[in-house]
Structure 1
Amino acid sequence: MSMIGNYARLTPAELERVVHDPDWGRKFIGELAETEPDERSGASPARCFDTDKAWHALDFLLRRQAFPVDVVFGEEEIPGADGWGQGPPCYLTPGRVRAAAEAFAAMPAAALVSGVTPDDLVQADIYPDIIWVGDESLDYVTNYYQALVPFFQAAAHDGHAMVVWIG
């Protein structure tokens, strides 16, 4: 079974409801993900996103850069939320989403992996260690990083919070 980094943009009112009723939140976010418009259609920005298996490498690389927001695991646990995946889901308030978007804007993808080799990820036991072979393996992470940045920027622009979990 693969572990995937997941994100859902929520309005402050939706986040409040998720925090008070995590079962409703899981269902609501599942429905959001199922009804996402095709990104090529020019519709509004997606409200759900995943970083596939790049989540652990993103966490490792962002921590190396002293990134000011925990965008991989979230910062506040949703109490009573069980069964969402590997540990409980967490969230970021709209203010923390805005802080992350600002920090992302100041860090190009090249800076994220500057001075890092795939072997560094293997040595740090970053999941899944089998993919950190060859120079292109860092492209896998930077591609997800480059997609995560506009996702957070759109959320910040809209005043959204973020729910984050590893599923």
Structure 2
Amino acid sequence: MSMIGEYARITPDELKRALSDPDWAYDFVQELLDEQEEVDQPSGQARCLDTDKAWDAIGFLLRRVGFSVDIVHGEQLIPGADDWGYGPPCYLTPERVRIAAESLPSTSFETLVQGVTPGELSQADVYPQIWSDLSALDYVRHHYESLSPFFAAAAEEGDAVLVWLD
């Protein structure tokens, strides 16, 4: 079974409801995911996004450069939420989404991987264990580069973002 990094953009009112009714949040996000399966949208237009199994490598690389927002795990737990796959969801407030959206474009993938070796990723036990050579980073690049337009659209709309592993 794979661990997939998942994101959903939600309005401030939807966040407020999610915080008071985590079961509603789960059902609502499942509806968003179902709707998105029917329409293929670029990440800058989508309400949901996944980073497939690249989430841990993205998190590792962002921590290396001191990125100020935890866009991989979220920053606040939804109180009382059940497990959405590999634990309960977390969220980023609209303000933290805005900060991430402003910072992502200036944090190029080249900056993230500068000086990274396959051994460093393997030694850090970064999921999934595919780091026998740096060409595996091309897989991570694709998913990392989808985050900037997703967060930019969320920030432009004043949205919060739910984050979970499924």
Question: TM class by shorter-chain length?
Answer: over 0.9
Which of 21, 35, 40 pairs up with 1:38?
A: 40
Give 1:146's aligned residue.
Answer: 145
| Counterparts of 2:74 and 2:157, CA distance in 1 | 19
Give 2:156's aligned residue.
Answer: 157
Give 1:134's aligned residue.
Answer: 133
1:135 offset after TM fit, Å? 2.5
> Deviation above 3 Å: which 4+ runs of structure 1?
none
Correspondence list, 1:8-87, <5 A: 8-36=8-36, 37-39=39-41, 45-87=45-87
Q: Which amino acid aligns with 2:134?
A: D
Q: Which amino acid aligns with 2:78?
A: I
Give 2:118's aligned residue.
Answer: 118
| Counterparts of 2:56 and 2:105, CA distance in 1 | 21
8 Å contact 1:97–1:162 — kept in the other structure? Answer: yes
1:92 offset after TM fit, Å? 0.3
| Counterparts of 1:82 and 1:121, CA distance in 2 | 31
Give 2:96's aligned residue.
Answer: 96
Work out the percentage of aligned pairs sharing the same amino acid. 57
- TM-score, normalising length from structure 2? 0.94
8 Å contact 2:83–2:89 — kept in the other structure? Answer: no
| Counterparts of 1:24 and 1:118, CA distance in 2 | 42
| Counterparts of 2:58 and 2:151, CA distance in 1 | 14
Q: Which amino acid aligns with 1:74?
A: G
Q: Which amino acid aligns with 1:142?
A: R
Matched position secondary structure for 2:53? helix
8 Å contact 1:118–1:138 — kept in the other structure? Answer: no
Unmatched 5+ stretches in structure 1: none
1:90 offset after TM fit, Å? 0.4
Query: What CA deviation, in whole Å up to 9, does each residue of 1:61-87 have, x standing for no partner?
Result: 100010000000101100111121212
Q: Which amino acid aligns with 2:73?
A: F
- TM-score, normalising length from structure 1? 0.94
